[in-house]
Homo-oligomer: A and B are copies of this chain.
Amino acid sequence: MPQKIVTLGEIMLRLSPADFRRIVQAETFDVTYGGGEANVAAALCNYGLNGFFVSKVPDNQLGQSAINHLRRYGVDTQHVIRGGERLGIYFLETGASMRASQVIYDRANSSMAEADASEFDFDAILEGASWFHTSGITPALSDKSAELTLAALKAAKAKGITTSMDLNYRKKLWSKEKAREVMSDLCRYVDVCLGADTTLGFTSKHMNEATGYLTEDGYKDVFGQMMEKFNFKYVVSTLRQSHSASDNGLSAIAYDGKEFYRAKQYEVRIVDRVGGGDSFASGFIYGLVSGMALGEATELGVAASALKHTIPGDLNHVSVAEVMELVRGGGSGSVQR
């Protein structure tokens, strides 16, 4: 019986022009559905775990399609509530070379953003679960969503379930100040923290002048502060070198309060980078849930994330075997026949 992992968040309709077209050139949109936590649930199902996704979608064909997309890839959607006004939408314009990908959010007033904590019986939902995951996107949706996220985290902690939070700051959803306030509250119920961005407000003098990003020493510095304040079990962050919209370097750094672990770096030719962070999260969670050491779980996360960048859509359609083969040194791309 595979372990039950519960994720909470919003799932959106994703619309994107094909073949590097800009939105003003689009005569068709590719249709798929995704969202940070839903993406994590689906990847965990690919890895053989029992992924649940908790959310609210409208009671129409679009809400049904979002549910169907997750069911197709094995996610248990029995706790997705139906109702509310609309399904959130995001338009994704895939960039290339020096032209960055663009996202237009059209998610205000979505069913999930307006869902009330009272609509979910987290005690029942979390029954038998071994892990609960959400991200900083969910509390950013609305004040009600922040309350909902808090309720879920509290319920998980009350049941002794490990909780993880991907900070995932989205500047189009809320201000840094608001984010810091809300997230600091939520993090009190978090065991495993993914991300070291500005959400929680920690800084370090170890910055790369040119890029404005933390150096490796900076990450260590910030991780230390995060540990101290929130008493996380683990902190981990992906490290992305964005050479261009077509090529990125990917790695990660993790900390367990004692030692730092820096993962192998991959250079990826990008097909679709949306969901890359969620793929790290799901690989990492899978590793920990499966009893791997922190370093090994981090390697798994990075390899899973690298593979995701080669697959269109939000979801990471890879098996554990494929991820492990890359961790072990594969990736040379010989045809399998």
| Chain A interface residues (CB < 8 Å from chain B) | 15, 18-32, 60-62, 64-65, 68-69, 71-74, 85-87, 89-91, 93, 95-106, 108-109, 170, 172, 242-248, 266, 268-271, 273-274, 306-307, 309-313, 317-318, 322, 326, 330-337
Contacts and interface: CB of A to CB of B under 8 A. Distances in A.
A266 B244 CA distance: 11
Contacts of A71: 71-74
3 A-B pairs closest in CB distance = A245-B333, A98-B331, A103-B337
Given A97-B309, A103-B335, 10 more contacts: A25-B311, A29-B29, A95-B335, A97-B333, A98-B330, A98-B333, A100-B330, A103-B336, A103-B337, A109-B109
A250 to B, nearest CB: 10
Contacts of A105: 337
A253 to B, nearest CB: 19
Given A27-B30, A68-B72, A307 B274 contact: no
Contacts of A332: 100, 242-244
Given A310-B96, A333-B101, A27 B20 contact: no
Contacts of A61: 22-24, 91, 93, 102, 104
Contacts of A26: 31, 65
A30 B28 contact: yes
B29 A98 contact: no
Nearest to A102: B336
A247 B69 CA distance: 33
